[in-house]
Structure 1
Amino acid sequence: MATGTEPPIQRGGVRTGTRAAIGAAHLRTDRWWLAPAGTAAGLLAFIVYSTWRAFANTDYYAAPYVSPFYSPCLAENCAPMRDGPNLEIIGSWWGLSPALIILVFPLGFRLTCYYYRKAYYRGFWASPPACAVAEPHKKYSGETRFPLILQNLHRYFFYAALLVAVILTYDTVLTFRDEHYAWGHMGLGSLVFLVNVALIWAYTLSCHSCRHIVGGRLKHFSKHPVRYRLWGWVGRLNARHMQLAWASLVSVGLADFYVYLLASGAFDDPRLF
């Protein structure tokens, strides 16, 4: 029963006239803001670093290592890479960094990723900032309008991400050469690239689109035992999709930074054998 002393109903977001008249913005007493703040800080750090490296157009090749940000190098202004993925299919009219040509594909895959959507929706847009904490926006249209409707392209970016993973695997194989391109070499950079490509594959295959492609649209798993096994394996990876998303984000940044240090002359690649 109304007494006339209730606090005014807060409007905006999900707090509307049909909801209970609770004066507090939420009833959580823990530091719920740490998770979205940490997510925003981590993603912002990677955005700043990757933007700098993408536009730098320098120090991305130190034989036999090529930065994953610049591979495959498709423009004529790429650094010469003997036996490397230097395709040069784009003519001399391209005067910007060659990284800007290729990064659109892994970037599109990550931007439309189901986990990353949750991460940056909460971290940057507070939509919603946390469980049981109402978002400040008055309207919600979901992903039905531009530009968020482009999130539906995720399944297509997945195929591009598969191709990128194959190319990075090829790059990793090439790291088992010395500076004279003779096989039988293994440096610290080889291990860096091995860890990175393993995490890239794990993150890519743990994608929800991959899980649907492998086992979706099947009425009877018993009639498709191979696809069922693959679906189960991808499902186990999918359960770690968040961890793999962050681990692969860090590893690809570290792989690029390692190449940058070698190319800029900060130190020489330690040879393991």
Structure 2
Amino acid sequence: MATGTEPHLNSGGVRTGTRAAIGASHLRTDRWWLAPAATAAGLLAFIVYSTWRAFANADYYSAPYVSPFYSPCLAENCKSMPSGPNADLFGSWWAISPAIIILIFPLGFRLTCYYYRKAYYRGFWASPPACAVAEPHKKYTGETRFPLILQNIHRYFFYAAILVAGVLTYDTVLSFRDTDENWGHMGLGTVIFLINIVLIWTYTISCHSCRHIVGGKLKHFSKHPVRYKAWQFVGKLNARHMLLAWASLVSVALADFYVYLLASGAFDDPRFF
């Protein structure tokens, strides 16, 4: 029962009179800072790379491969691409990179992802920097105020991510065609696209929102055996959500970089058949 003497949630972080009077910010003796530093470095590297590629507006198509950063291509300047899920919906008035149109959805999904929240809260904001390390900020409001309250729209970005994964699946199918649009082609790019789409799908459906959609609000699993089996499957993937988050982040960047190398003429796609 409240007595009126409890510290307010925002009154002073962990440095309050009701907490243990420990002068040190932590009592850990291991290199606890390595994990948040590595996380920050990895995310920063992806941010720099994806920003460069998103605004480059070039070298994003080399038949039959289209960069996952630019698909589906919805601007008029995508007409140079003879194949792929392209639709001139934005017309010629959209003068900047067509990647900007679509990247907001997968990036929004990742930015609001429960794992990525933990990653960049610790890596960039030190909130908190690690387990058993004091929160350095004087106030803590969680995700109850703007802009962090917008994290609650993660479930809606999940639906958009499903659509994007569907488009990338179509792109992967098209990667089995050669430059003359004949089926039966398989190159190194096809393998990269296959690995990428498997990781994209497993990361997407391992999402906490997906787990809730599949098995949430069920009072009796025994009455819903199909949903229960699906919930168990998603739960197993969810246990590896962190690994899948990083693996899919690397694979999507690798797929884009491979298309960039082909489109810029660095080398030709090695064919297996």
Give the TM-score category using the shorter length: over 0.9
Q: 1:16 offset after TM fit, Å?
A: 1.6
Q: Which residue of 2 aligns with 1:42?
A: 42
Distance in 2 separating the partners of 1:222 and 1:272? 48
1:186 counterpart letter in structure 2: M
Q: How many Å apart are 1:258 and its aligned residue? A: 0.1
State the Cα distance separating 1:83 from its structure 2 match.
2.8
| Distance apart, 1:12 and its partner CA | 5.3
Determine the structure 2 residue equivalent to 1:155.
155
1:124 corresponds in structure 2 to: 124
Q: Deviations over 1:61-113 (max 9, x none)?
A: 00000000000000112252223111111111100100000000000000000
Q: Distance in 1 between matches of 2:22 and 2:135?
A: 15
| Paired position in structure 1 for 2:146 | 146
Partners of 1:137 and 1:75 in 2: how far apart? Answer: 44
Gaps of 5+ in 1: 1-10
**Hey, what does 2:233 align to over in structure 1?**
233
Point out where structure 2 has 5 or more consecutive residues left out of the alignment: 1-10
C-alpha distance in 1 between matches for 2:155 and 2:115: 14
Cα separation, 2, equivalents of 1:92 and 1:145: 39
Q: Is the 8 A contact 2:60 2:67 kept in 1?
A: yes
Percent of aligned pairs with the same residue? 83
- What is the TM-score normalised by the length of structure 2? 0.95
Give the match for residue 83 of structure 1: 83
Other-structure match for 2:64: 64
Q: Please give the alpha-carbon distance, in whole angstroms, between the structure 2 residues aligned to 1:66 and 1:176.
A: 12
Question: Is the 2:64–2:83 Cα contact (8 Å) retained in structure 1?
Answer: no
1:127-172: CA deviations, max 9, x gaps? 0000000111100111111110110000000000000000000000
Mapped to 1, the partners of 2:88 and 2:124 lie a distance apart of 38
- Total equivalences in the alignment: 263
Give 3-state SS (helix, strand or coil) of 2:74's partner. Answer: strand
Q: What is the distance in 1 between the residues matched to 2:133 and 2:46?
A: 27
d(CA) in 2 for partners of 1:183, 1:20: 69
User: What is the CA–CA distance in structure 2 between the aligned matches of 1:81 and 1:91, rounded to whole Å?
Assistant: 15
Aligned counterpart, 2:191: 191
Does residue 103 (structure 1) correspond to residue 103 (structure 2)? The answer is: yes
Contact 1:112 1:154 in 2 (8 A): yes
- After TM superposition, give the deviation of residue 19 of structure 1 in Å: 1.3
- Cα separation, 2, equivalents of 1:93 and 1:26: 55
8 Å CA contact 2:129–2:135 kept in 1: the answer is: yes
TM-score in terms of structure 1 length: 0.95
One-letter code of the match for 2:113?
C
Matched, 1:73 2:73: yes
How far off its partner does 1:13 sit?
A: 3.3
CA contact (8 A) 2:73 2:98 kept: yes
Task: Give the distance between the partners of 1:104 and 1:98, measured in 2 at CA.
Answer: 11
User: 1:152-231 residue pairs with structure 2 within 5 A?
Assistant: 152-231=152-231
